Amino acid sequence: MELNIHLPTLLLLSVVINLMVGGLLWLVYRLRDLQACFRLWALACVTFVAGIVLAVARSVVDAPLVTELAAHLCLGLSPWLVLAGIHNLLGVPLAGGKKSSRVLVVCAVVYVAGLLVSYAGDTLVPRLLTALWSALVFTVAIYRLASSSRTPRLPFRILQTIFGIHGILMMLQVLVIITSRWELVGLDVNAVLTLILAHHLLLATATVMALPLLAFTQAERNLKLLAERDELTQLLNRRAFLQQGRAAFNQAREQQQGLTVLMIDLDYFKQINDRWGHEVGDSVLSFVATIMAEELRDSDIIGRIGGEEFAAVLNTGSCKEVEAVTERLLRKIAGRGRWVEGRPLNLSASIGGVVISPQTHSFNDMMRSADAAMYEAKDKGRNRVEFAPVSG
């Protein structure tokens, strides 16, 4: 097999690029409040470069402990550091559950023990072990990225694709080593492994360049959440609620679908603040927000629009369904709100609702009608729900 690959040039280029990207990641780490994922990825670049340098030194230094064992330990540590950085960014434990933790630990122990036993003998065995270990780590990384529900998905898919190709190349390397060991197929092993190494170096470089994209998109996502969420309840704030509500209204009107707007106001909330203090009042607001998040669907829009006042947009116009939802909300708030943090608060709420009709002109009109219905509920005794009349 003839390969027009000048391996020393490729190795040098990979070393230079990884050092440059590693330095950039370390600089970002220092500038972004010491975000640990960037430090881990920078160390992954450094260990990858160290592994290449030590492997190259094998041809001029007769010290297998340094050139063989240390090289493969560095090359095995590099993907693990990449995985650790991804877990840090996503805020999940590195190993996941106890079972997966034990599996990773056992595999790591077997890998290191295998290197210790084989590094001074056949050079193909350490390659085989490192390839298997890397394939395992990349498989775990793909699973972690796939199991995350975060958006946008494009950076996740890019890294999953790169890791998938990484894993395939590592398993291909394992297959080549096994077939050559028992002479199952007539292959130029060095030529094939050189080709695999060339692609692996290019993919490793692509990986370290794609990781910051994942981190920056997640940082942008977090900033967007901070801008849209009420700090106390983690529901949508007033601006974000109105924005999403208007979009839902326009869609419902265009597609002639049902839509309901609810206004929920806690009864006698000022008395709770005056008697028990604002800290207890904040706990009550968080408590009610939790109930709303539990009782309403994921597709519904829920927000805190001011003080003790909440609002919700339900993607349904069925009076029976809406009545069931509102009655359940009132029942849960009153039942679970008898005692909050050991205090007899006897919470209740008044709810006003309005259903979209062909005569409804805007989302703001629905908000005003729901608000008026909510005050009507208060006037009629509180702890009840009233609906605005449907325009005929």
Distance CA 253, CA 360 (A): 9
Q: What is the 3-state secondary structure (H, E, C) of 53-117?
A: HHHHHCCCCCCHHHHHHHHHHHHHHHHHHHHHHHHHHHCCCCCCCHHHHHHHHHHHHHHHHHHHH
Residues belonging to the active site: 308
Give the number of other CB atoms < 10 A from CB of residue 358: 9
Number of residues written out for the chain: 392
Per the listing, tokens 């990207």 go with 21
